[in-house]
Chains A and B, each alone.
Chain A
Amino acid sequence: MKITRKDFLRLSGLGLLAVAGRKAVRAVAERSSVRSSGQTSAPPAKSVRWGMAIDLEKCRHKDGCDRCIKACHSTHNVPQFADCAHEIKWIWKEPFQDVFPAAQTGYTREFFGDLPVLLVCNHCDDPPCQDVCPVDATWKREDGVVTIDFHRCIGCRYCMAACPYGARSFNWQDPRPALATINPDFPTRTKGVVEKCNFCEERLAKGQGPACAESCEEKAIVFGDLEKPDSEVRRVLRSRFAVQRKPELGTGPSVYYIV
């Protein structure tokens, strides 16, 4: 039986496609099939929404206090770089006039303008960073924590462009040389991935509070379940007037500021 070259190539090509297709189907099936044996399913979580109220007045009691920043950054192995262009920060302070530029006029700026405001990721209800991530490396969990899978992140930094709050940092280089001490219980990250405040989700999993809140001597950071009407954070929000950062953008931050 004579076969033309064209037909031979066509048959070989189809054959290759069939083999590749089988592999692809297998791969997809494996991904969606039952995973490792003996998996414990987590108890169905009652609806929790983690949130935070930061009392800026209490925060101002101690001038230049940065206990919370030290606690967070040491717990999570956040590197300290000399070059501030490459800085990584999960929690930091900025002047009031830069955080709430619309909340003051020329005359109120006199008092409030330079006062420090503690900033973290807002763990938004509708996070723009989640919308833009092309690989689902960042997403909002059911308990409201916006988290990052450092294994999946491709370092495109789209989430950094999307965040209206400047809450995210990128590892421009290997972070380990810039770490004086390493907390052995928490991984470092590698160059090329984005990171940010994670609401101490590894501590939340063990029933502990966030490092920043627990380290504050003035108890300026109140962390809790925003869904629970009698939680401490809800009581605080009922008793004093609190604002969010850029609420007009519709992101729904979980971090409130008591001015």
Chain B
Amino acid sequence: MSDRPLILAGLTLFVGLVTTPIWHGALDRKAALTAPPIKLPAQEKQCVAPASYMRTSHMQLLEHWRNEAVRDGQRQFVAFNGKTYDKNPTRTCLTQCHTDRKEFCERCHNYAGVSDPDCWHCHNDSPIASRSTP
């Protein structure tokens, strides 16, 4: 039984590592229990789809937009309320509505512990100053 101290040490280490989210979260005073306020669009009151759908499935919508715009050349999206939008993350999502990805996208993603959307590695993340024609 000369292995016993080794086994116990290993077990303790393992349990400690596996429960890190619990005790680290408890010790972190900055961690909040309530969701952070996200900056909602100033002008637009209606999203491209019902808010409940966006909450559950915005990832799928964005993926469909991406594939349809890039792979099928279909750049126009007609929303459930008849409005037409460009499937463009910079012009539509940011410029038209959400303006600041740090105060909208990242806030929720950070809080929920979901990986950051990496759209902005490539797509411009500053709203485009209004011009007559893009």
Contact = CB atoms under 8 A, between A and B. Distances in A.
A and B touch in the complex (CB under 8 A): yes
Contacts of A190: 118, 121-122
Given A39-B77, A39-B78, A40-B76, A151 B126 contact: no
Contact of A40 (B71, B74, B121): B74
B121 A36 contact: no
A150 B71 CA distance: 10
A36 B122 contact: no
Interface stretch (A6-14, A87-95, A179-187): A179-187
Q: Which of A41, A184, A185 has the most CB of B within 10 A?
A: A184
A102 interface: no
A141 to B, nearest CB: 7
B122 A37 contact: no
Chain A interface size range: 20 to 34
B124 A184 contact: yes
A36 B73 contact: no
B134 interface: yes
Given A40-B78, A42-B73, A184 B126 contact: yes
Q: Which of B75, B78, B124 has the most CB of A within 10 A?
A: B124
B75 A36 contact: no
A42 B84 contact: no
A218 interface: no
A185 B124 CA distance: 8
B66 A37 contact: no
B122 A38 contact: no
A38 B80 contact: yes
B70 A36 contact: no
Looking at chain B's contact residues, is the secondary structure mostly helix, strand, loop, or mixed? mixed
Contacts of B70: 147, 149, 151
A3 interface: no
B90 interface: yes
A151 B134 CA distance: 23
B93 to A, nearest CB: 13
A159 B74 CA distance: 25
Given A35-B64, A36-B64, A151-B70, A184 B90 contact: yes
A84 interface: no
Contacts of A19: none
B46 to A, nearest CB: 13
Interface of B: 49, 60-61, 64-68, 70-80, 84, 90-91, 118, 121-124, 126, 128, 134
24 contacts: A35-B64, A35-B67, A35-B68, A36-B61, A36-B68, A36-B77, A38-B78, A38-B80, A40-B84, A41-B74, A42-B74, A149-B70, A150-B122, A151-B66, A151-B70, A184-B126, A185-B90, A185-B91, A185-B128, A185-B134, A187-B122, A187-B123, A189-B122, A206-B134
